[in-house]
Amino acid sequence: MVIAIDGPAASGKGTLAKRLAAHYGLPHLDTGLLYRAVALTMLDAGFPLEDEAAAARAAEALIADRLADPRLRERAMGEAASRISAVPAVRAALLAWQQRFAGNSQGAVLDGRDIGTVVCPEARVKLFITAAPEERARRRHRELEGRGETTTFDAILADILARDARDASRATAPLKAAADAVMLDTTELDADEAFEAARLVVERARPH
């Protein structure tokens, strides 16, 4: 069983994906980490993010060990990943990576921006998780403060709105809900309520 979870930044899709994966005993992939890892690889090597050829090489050479780097969770990497993700050659290389992950015999849970539309269009379960931008900014602000990063709510909200616009308008695999995805707005839901709503969707779709 493949569970595809899409949605914009800080919608809660990552937390939800991890919980569903644990509940059903499935491997989980936060596909955003792939793009962050490509961006970090480039920055570590001294390449500007605008260098599309270097980005493509970094994506093609990406190994799973890179996904454990704690620097990938930093706010700057989210912004860098959003820029890298607009490069078609990067998306093509990472598409193959993601599809290999999803193709194992037991299934998987993947979360990102184009899982239900591009990566796993045949997924048995498709969820599109969203929330109001202001609520997403509040969540990200709490998360970053909890990690000791200094930032402001207004700066985070501006980042989120910019990323939403960039992700939704890119030519290759834009952020959008699959036609057959179940929409779940988590603005008014806590983590437990969101999990229960998502679990019910999975239960209705899974074979019995």
Residue 126 among known ligand-binding residues: no
Q: Which of 190, 22, 189 lies closest to 3, judged by CA?
A: 22
Residue 88 among known ligand-binding residues: no
Residue 9 among known ligand-binding residues: yes
Q: What contacts 25, CB < 8 A, 6 or more positions away?
A: 106
Residue 12 among known ligand-binding residues: yes
Residue 11 among known ligand-binding residues: yes
Residue 13 among known ligand-binding residues: yes
Residue 137 among known ligand-binding residues: no
- CA 123 from chain center: how many Å? 16
Residue 15 among known ligand-binding residues: yes
**How many alpha carbons lie under 13 Å from residue 205 in its C-beta half-sphere?**
18
**C-beta atoms surrounding 160 within 10 Å:** 21
Residue 197 among known ligand-binding residues: no
Is residue 57 within 8 A of residue 84, CB to CB? The reply is no
Q: Specify binding-site residues for ATP.
A: 7-15
Q: Specify binding-site residues.
A: 7-15
